[in-house]
Chains A and B, each alone.
Chain A
């Protein structure tokens, strides 16, 4: 029981990072029908920029407390990533908006390589130690479950951002314009919506979320690396598909579910398969679940629209 509870907590922590990144994929897909493969690398840039900013803050303002330093690093990283998201959209995707669907997809993969290579040139191939400004010492265990302050922070921050995003999309003017653009951007523009602006805003918001996810990821694990965005990016994309790509609630649900499936799968796969499979099949397990869900619900768990895109 203790183990199951601990695995659930492990899964929720990993899953909430997936969910936050998955939102970025799903927002862009919802509006443009484009799978932005560079999104995971925005996460990586977010973490590395925050690392650099925190180093500078620690150098020039060593008396600033731990949390203000982290918030400062996070702030810089969010702003840089917003600018990066806008630049990517403006330079790489906008010209291809009416091109055949394959062109922007390949471009997205290209942007991903570009970002990784740039990061490799700037920050080198080595693993960097990310300063863990929120404590990673576990709190007094409750019911045998260990959780650290940074993990609690991850859960709280992700939940807050997800609620904020839902409110933004469903309750504000900008959100209404985004939904209109997603439905049909030609008609939306006829109705007076500046779709270029809306699409740029989508990229900017998604990139900001990725930056936050990157900082949380690195704060939890204490490392940052030029290739760190690849795995979370892939997992978050899977989560978005699992939940129903294009659907915000689906991305959140898919992310949390994928985290849980992975963690519980790794913990129990050996017993469930009577010792035939082991934890080296951890990743396969997640994709088997994805396959099964897609067989019965081709549009994902919460996807309603018939896939007229992709």
Chain B
């Protein structure tokens, strides 16, 4: 409040044509993600990404329906918590935001999506990868990143075509994430004509996997896929070595972490692979330039998904341009027609709101760290 008063005063003093500037229509864009808690750095990163997109649009000076518009970001903290996420979503809707960039995690994005649907406000998530989000078929739900189905498909393709694995076994931890990812891998394998030689299950609280691994060993797999988090994924890998299983280890993004390397320790080898939704900065068409501008504007380097949240915000603005209006009811249908070159690649959406070109990157463990494969 104080700031706008100051800006008005400033405008009055310095700019002669200030009448036009005062007439700018403010378009509020919401952002929701964890801004406190253990993954606050990821949330803040995405908030900055969205902010940068709005800054860029403001610098260009955009007119919608004959009126100059000024975008403002309204950032809310959902603590990556499903309940807080719905409260925050309601707050954004009540504040009259015209579109939302968020939420960051699937656990928050799914419950919040219902509120945006009821309010008719488009929400584009930069980083939630659960297939369940877009499976709800909400008209207002979009995402710019690959979902877990695309991730599973990429892993299945890599395992059969590059690793030439014919005998693949699959384990999951029976959580929504682990099971979803493992099912996606199995489904894609079957489409490629490969039937898994084993399918075993564990829980996200287990520590001993010797029994199921011994059973899989009997099936002589070339590769074992584990759908779950690093806390179980690392012991699975360790126990494979302890049982003399030489199969390659494949994991999803839950195991594609620094924590995985730390816990698995000496069991890590170049036979360990994982997938991650999204592509690394240096592979993005606009990555280098984005990183430099981001650093200059916010004084911190890009953490993770900021380029995706930049593209999510840009997609909202593109749709507004196509509709020549910032009213959700008018520009929402245009989101389907959006097609532009973003920082992360070409941005366009399919009928369910998923990104058409959601990139997935394969990583291989090499000399102490994850290395993106070309």
Residues of A within 8 A of B (CB): 2-3, 6-7, 10-11, 13-14, 125-127, 129, 132, 136-138, 141, 146, 148, 151, 217, 221-223, 225, 227-228, 230-231, 262-268, 278-280, 282-283
Would B211 and A282 count as touching, CB distance under 8 A? yes
Would B243 and A7 count as touching, CB distance under 8 A? no
Would B199 and A146 count as touching, CB distance under 8 A? no
8 Å CB contact of A129 from B203, B206, B243, B265: B265
3 closest residue pairs by CB, A with B: A280-B201, A266-B211, A10-B210
Would A148 and B242 count as touching, CB distance under 8 A? yes
Q: List 28 A-B contacts (CB under 8 A).
A: A3-B218, A10-B210, A10-B214, A127-B263, A136-B241, A136-B242, A146-B244, A221-B207, A221-B235, A222-B238, A222-B265, A223-B207, A223-B231, A223-B234, A223-B263, A225-B231, A227-B205, A230-B205, A231-B205, A231-B207, A262-B211, A266-B212, A278-B201, A279-B201, A279-B211, A279-B212, A279-B215, A280-B202
Contacts of B218 in A (CB 8 A): 2-3
**Complex: A126 Cα to B262 Cα, angstroms:** 12
Contacts of A221 in B (CB 8 A): 207-208, 235, 238
Contacts of A127 in B (CB 8 A): 230-231, 259, 263
Contacts of A141 in B (CB 8 A): 244
Would B242 and A278 count as touching, CB distance under 8 A? no
- A41 CB to closest chain B CB (Å) equals 15
Please provide the chain B residues from 165 to 199 with a CB less than 8 Å away from any CB of chain A in the complex.
Answer: 174, 199
**Complex: A132 Cα to B206 Cα, angstroms:** 19
**Complex: A231 Cα to B202 Cα, angstroms:** 13
Would A266 and B263 count as touching, CB distance under 8 A? no
**Complex: A279 Cα to B219 Cα, angstroms:** 15
Contacts of A129 in B (CB 8 A): 262-263, 265
8 Å CB contact of B200 from A136, A222, A278: A278
Contacts of A11 in B (CB 8 A): 211
* Given A264-B211, A280-B201, 11 extra CB contacts under 8 A: A7-B211, A10-B208, A11-B211, A132-B265, A138-B243, A148-B242, A225-B231, A263-B214, A266-B212, A279-B202, A282-B202
Would B238 and A6 count as touching, CB distance under 8 A? no
Q: Which residue of A lies closest to B174 (CB)?
A: A280
Contacts of B207 in A (CB 8 A): 217, 221, 223, 228, 231
**Complex: A146 Cα to B238 Cα, angstroms:** 13
- A271 CB to closest chain B CB (Å) equals 9
Contacts of A217 in B (CB 8 A): 207
**Complex: A222 Cα to B231 Cα, angstroms:** 11
- Asked if B44 is an interface residue, CB under 8 A from chain A, the answer is no
**Complex: A266 Cα to B215 Cα, angstroms:** 8
Contacts of A228 in B (CB 8 A): 207
**Complex: A141 Cα to B205 Cα, angstroms:** 30
**Complex: A225 Cα to B235 Cα, angstroms:** 13
**Complex: A206 Cα to B57 Cα, angstroms:** 68
Q: Which residue of A lies closest to B243 (CB)?
A: A146
Please provide the chain B residues from 57 to 116 with a CB less than 8 Å away from any CB of chain A in the complex.
Answer: none
- Digitize B228-270: 1 where CB-to-A-CB distance is under 8 Å, 0 elsewhere: 0011001100100111100000000000000100110100000
- A218 CB to closest chain B CB (Å) equals 9
Contacts of A282 in B (CB 8 A): 201-202, 211-212
- Asked if B143 is an interface residue, CB under 8 A from chain A, the answer is no
- B252 CB to closest chain A CB (Å) equals 18
- B269 CB to closest chain A CB (Å) equals 13
Contacts of B206 in A (CB 8 A): 231
Would A7 and B208 count as touching, CB distance under 8 A? no
- B246 CB to closest chain A CB (Å) equals 12
Q: Which residue of A lies closest to B179 (CB)?
A: A280
Would B199 and A13 count as touching, CB distance under 8 A? no
Would B201 and A138 count as touching, CB distance under 8 A? no
Q: Which residue of B lies closest to A130 (CB)?
A: B263
Q: Which residue of B lies closest to A280 (CB)?
A: B201
- A158 CB to closest chain B CB (Å) equals 15
**CB within 8 Å for A6 and B201 given contacts A231-B207, A263-B211:** no
- B214 CB to closest chain A CB (Å) equals 5
**Complex: A126 Cα to B39 Cα, angstroms:** 13
Would B244 and A138 count as touching, CB distance under 8 A? yes
Q: Which residue of A lies closest to B235 (CB)?
A: A221
**Complex: A221 Cα to B262 Cα, angstroms:** 13
8 Å CB contact of B217 from A3, A14, A268, A280: A3
Would B210 and A223 count as touching, CB distance under 8 A? no
8 Å CB contact of A146 from B211, B230, B242, B259: B242
**Complex: A227 Cα to B205 Cα, angstroms:** 9
Contacts of B241 in A (CB 8 A): 136-138
**Complex: A146 Cα to B241 Cα, angstroms:** 10
**Complex: A230 Cα to B234 Cα, angstroms:** 20
Contacts of A283 in B (CB 8 A): 203
Q: Which residue of B lies closest to A151 (CB)?
A: B242
Choose among A7, A221, A230 the residue with the greatest number of B CB atoms under 10 Å from its CB.
A221
**Complex: A125 Cα to B242 Cα, angstroms:** 27
- B34 CB to closest chain A CB (Å) equals 15
Would B214 and A3 count as touching, CB distance under 8 A? yes
Would B262 and A263 count as touching, CB distance under 8 A? no
**Complex: A11 Cα to B208 Cα, angstroms:** 10
Contacts of A138 in B (CB 8 A): 241-244
Contacts of B199 in A (CB 8 A): 278
Contacts of B215 in A (CB 8 A): 3, 7, 266-268, 279
- B367 CB to closest chain A CB (Å) equals 19
**Complex: A136 Cα to B243 Cα, angstroms:** 10
**Complex: A6 Cα to B200 Cα, angstroms:** 17
**Complex: A231 Cα to B232 Cα, angstroms:** 14
- A138 CB to closest chain B CB (Å) equals 5
**Complex: A141 Cα to B238 Cα, angstroms:** 17
**Complex: A217 Cα to B211 Cα, angstroms:** 16
**Complex: A294 Cα to B263 Cα, angstroms:** 40
